[in-house]
Amino acid sequence: MSDKPSVLFVCVHNAGRSQMAAGWLRHLAGDTVEVRSAGSAPAGTVNPAVVEAMAEVGIDITDQTPKLLEYATAESSDVIVTMGCGDACPVFPGKRYEDWKLEDPAGKGVDAVRPIRDEIRTRVENLLTELRPTA
């Protein structure tokens, strides 16, 4: 891992869980971590309930768009966090993988997205502590 680790968050549509995780990590880590997110079958836009739930905690993800998971992005990431992308996630020897079992916010309103958002924050905080133990 380099001085500035890279973390890739992956879910199917890159419109909910992975976008919230990336938003939290950018917010909490600043420029100390390279943050990436992608999906195995990206949606056209980020889930509006996810955008609203993140805005409630002061994180603006309106400028994010779902991206297709590319082999090179995964290969060059230090940590890959999957959230339900199944067999579409490539596996590279020597990479650190985490699979976060989280409810999918697709089709849910903001009231249902808030607990998912909060669980993701806790997991991102724990990950950040492991990436920057002396920070």
Instruction: Please tell me which residue in 85, 102, 113, 116 is annotated as part of the active site.
Output: 85
Instruction: Please tell me which residue in 7, 8, 10, 11 is annotated as part of the active site.
Output: 11
Active site residue 89: yes
Secondary structure (H, E, C), the chain: CCCCCEEEEEECCCCCHHHHHHHHHHHHHHHHCEEEEEECCCCCCCCHHHHHHHHHCCCCCCCCCCCECCHHHHHCCCEEEECCCHHHCCCCCCCEEEECCCCCCCCCCHHHHHHHHHHHHHHHHHHHHHHCCCC
Instruction: Please tell me which residue in 51, 89, 113, 116 is annotated as part of the active site.
Output: 89
Active site residue 85: yes
Q: Return the active site residues.
A: 11, 85, 89
